[in-house]
Amino acid sequence: METELKKHIKEKVVLDTRSSWIYIGTLDQVTGQCAVLTDVDVHDNTDTATSKDRYVCESRDTGIKTNRDRVFVSIEYIVSFSLLEDVKNF
């Protein structure tokens, strides 16, 4: 995953994790242990009735609701990622 993530430095990405947490922000760098995002929306999906998919679609449409300047996310914690622009409505 590290190699694929590195191809998207400076792009807006969505990181899906092994938990209810999702991260939406600009990919700043990727190290052997973590992905570093800037201007990040760190969102715990258990705090809302909105599904992860709906929340991500809304973020694509209305913009990232930034609540952190910088976040370090463990590569091992990430189960998938996508570009925010690739998120489709359903």
Q: Give tens-digit pLDDT for 36-56.
A: 999 999 999 887 888 888 999
Pairing of strands 68-74, 34-44: antiparallel
pTM exceeds 0.85, yes or no: yes
Look at residue 88 and give its three-state secondary structure.
Answer: coil
Residue 15 CA, distance from chain mean position: 3
User: Which domains, ranges and CATH numbers included, belong to the chain?
Assistant: 2-85 (2.30.30.100)
Q: Does residue 31 have a pLDDT over 90?
A: yes
Look at residue 14 and give its three-state secondary structure.
Answer: strand
Residue 23 structure tokens:
């991260």
Q: Does residue 86 have a pLDDT over 90?
A: yes
| Spatial distance between the Cα atoms of 48 and 71, rounded to a whole number of angstroms | 21
